[in-house]
Amino acid sequence: MFWISTDIPNVGCSGTHFSDGMMWDVFKLTQLTSLYFLWRHLFNSGPFFYLLPECPEEAPGFLLECDSSTLDALQKHLALYKIRRKVMVEPHPELHVWAVLPSTPQAPEAVPLQERVGATAILTRDPRTSHMGWRLLTQDHGPALVPGGQLGDLQDYHTHRYQQGIPEGVHDLPPGLALPLESNLAFMNGVSFTKGCYIGQELTARTHHMGVIRKRLFPVRLKGCLPTSGIGLGTLVLTTTGQVAGKFRAGQGDVGLALLRSDTIKGPLHIRISENHQVAVTASVPDWWPIATK
Tens digit of each residue's pLDDT (9 = 90 or more) over 68-110: 888 888 888 878 877 777 777 888 788 888 888 877 655 555 5
Q: How many residues does the chain have?
A: 294
Q: Which residue has the higher pLDDT, 103 or 234?
A: 234
Per DSSP, the three-state class of 283 is strand
The three-class DSSP label of residue 230 is: coil
Beta pairing partners, 91:
2
Q: What is the pLDDT of residue 146?
A: 75
pLDDT at 243 over 90: yes
pTM: 0.78
What's the pLDDT at 26?
A: 43
Q: What is the model's pLDDT at position 152?
A: 81
Q: Residue 95: left (phi > 0), alpha (psi -120 to 50), or beta?
A: beta
Q: How many CB atoms lie within 10 A of CB 264?
A: 19
Which range of 50-59, 105-114, 143-152 scores highest in mean pLDDT? It is 143-152
Per the prediction, the chain carries an average pLDDT of 75
Confidence at residue 191, expressed as pLDDT on a 0 to 100 scale: 83
Q: For residues 257 and 226, is the Cβ–Cβ distance under 8 A?
A: no
The residue that leads in pLDDT, 167 or 37, is 167
**Closest C-alpha among 40, 38, 33 to residue 166:** 38
Q: Which residues pair with 246 in a beta bridge?
A: 237, 260
Please tell me whether residue 29 adopts helix, strand or coil conformation.
strand
- Segment 259-282, tens digit of pLDDT: 999 999 999 999 999 888 999 999
Residue 40 has pLDDT above 50, yes or no: no
Order of strands across the sheet that contains 87-91:
61-64, 2-6, 87-91
- Closest C-alpha among 115, 95, 114, 111 to residue 103: 111
Among 61-65, 213-217, 226-230, 277-281, name the one with the lowest average pLDDT.
61-65
pLDDT at 82: 76
- Residue 218: what pLDDT? 98
- Which pLDDT score, from 0 to 100, does residue 109 have? 56
44-58, 120-134, 149-163, 178-192: least confident range = 44-58
Position with higher pLDDT, 108 vs 129: 129
Percent over 70 (pLDDT), the chain: 71
Spatial separation of the C-alpha atoms in residues 269 and 243, rounded to whole Å: 10
Task: Summarize pLDDT for 152-201 with one digit per residue, the tens.
Answer: 888 988 999 999 999 998 889 988 888 889 999 999 988 878 776 777 78
pLDDT computed for residue 121 by the predictor: 79
